[in-house]
């Protein structure tokens, strides 16, 4: 059973924002960092950032600084990734991934099934 | 351009052994950070194959093995099977903080 369930596909216009959710189950949500990784069509994996569900602390890849916000709601065990000022090249599948191991040698042991975000006018 | 460099494609016949390389630098693999490998079947999320350079999670066949040397790492697959046809990604840590992936390698089973 996959312990990370993501929200459904989204279609957005350029300039809009999108918020993707990732509900965790079967483990202590606050015990593991949650990372977000995206994959553009036909392309490789790109790390976007991470969120500490325990403290709310975040680290973002430089490329997304100022456009991405990662948050969590510990009461319902859900992580969120919001990307603003969307462009057509933000069209991608967005994955949440649980980070296991010890910092900084994390490995992503569980992944959500992904959320397709399409940006089109 | 990915921080970690992988060959775009590799191929092999059933039963053969193939290796996939992952070349980094002194700020990631060369700095001693662990290397992970993921397998991504078409239309699915990545799956952890190897962590900590050479450790297999439970359920991953021992046909898959990982190693590292200097600023590079390798994934070896022995006894190639049709079901191994997939994309493979290496991953490590770089500075800033920043977790990085290779560009991916498409494995074709002939």
- Closest partner CB to B36 (pick from A44, A104, A107): A107
Residue B97: the pLDDT is 67
Band (pLDDT 50/70/90 cuts) for residue B95 is: confident
CA distance to A4, A101, B52, B62, per residue, from B56 (Å): 21, 13, 9, 8
Region B95-101 average pLDDT = 84
- Closest partner CB to B99 (pick from A44, A106, A111): A106
Residue A103: the pLDDT is 86
Answer yes or no: is pLDDT of A20 > 70: yes
- Give the tens place of pLDDT for each residue, B53-90: 999 999 999 999 999 999 999 999 999 999 999 999 99
Region B35-42 average pLDDT = 97
- Give the tens place of pLDDT for each residue, A39-61: 999 999 999 999 999 999 999 99
B70 touches chain A (CB under 8 A): no
Helix (H, G, I), strand (E, B) or coil at A54: coil
Residue A111: the pLDDT is 98
B57 touches chain A (CB under 8 A): yes
What residues contact B62, with CB distance under 8 A and at least 6 apart?
B56
Residue B55: the pLDDT is 97
Of B110, B109, B29, B43, which Cα lies nearest the Cα of B74?
B29
- Exposure of B46 by Cβ count < 10 A (0-12 exposed, 13-18 middle, 19+ buried)? buried
Nearest-neighbour CA in chain B from A2: distance (Å): 11
- Give the tens place of pLDDT for each residue, A61-99: 999 999 999 999 999 999 999 999 999 999 999 999 999
Nearest-neighbour CA in chain A from B79: distance (Å): 25
Nearest-neighbour CA in chain B from A117: distance (Å): 15
């Amino acid at each position: 059973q996959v312990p990370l369930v993501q929200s459904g596909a989204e279609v957005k216009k350029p300039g809009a924002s999108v918020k993707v959710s990732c509900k965790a189950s079967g483990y202590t949500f606050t015990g593991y960092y949650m990372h977000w990784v995206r994959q553009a069509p036909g392309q490789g994996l790109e790390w976007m950032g991470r969120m500490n569900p325990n403290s709310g602390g975040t680290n973002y890849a430089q490329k997304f600084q100022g456009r991405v916000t990662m948050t969590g709601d510990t009461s319902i065990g859900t992580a969120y990734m919001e990307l603003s000022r969307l462009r057509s090249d933000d069209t991608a599948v967005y994955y949440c991934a649980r980070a296991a191991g010890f910092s900084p040698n994390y490995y992503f042991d569980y992944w959500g099934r992904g959320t397709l975000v399409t940006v089109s006018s | 351009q990915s921080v970690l460099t992988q060959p775009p494609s590799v191929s092999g016949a059933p039963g053969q052994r193939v290796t996939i390389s992952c070349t980094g630098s002194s700020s990631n693999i060369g700095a001693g950070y662990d290397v992970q490998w993921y397998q991504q079947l078409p239309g699915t999320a990545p799956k952890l194959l190897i962590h900590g350079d050479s450790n297999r999670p439970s359920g991953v066949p021992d046909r898959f093995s990982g190693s590292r040397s200097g600023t590079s790492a390798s994934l070896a697959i022995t006894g190639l099977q049709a079901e191994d046809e997939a994309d493979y990604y290496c991953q490590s840590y770089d500075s800033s903080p920043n977790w990085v992936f290779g560009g991916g390698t498409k494995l074709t089973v002939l």
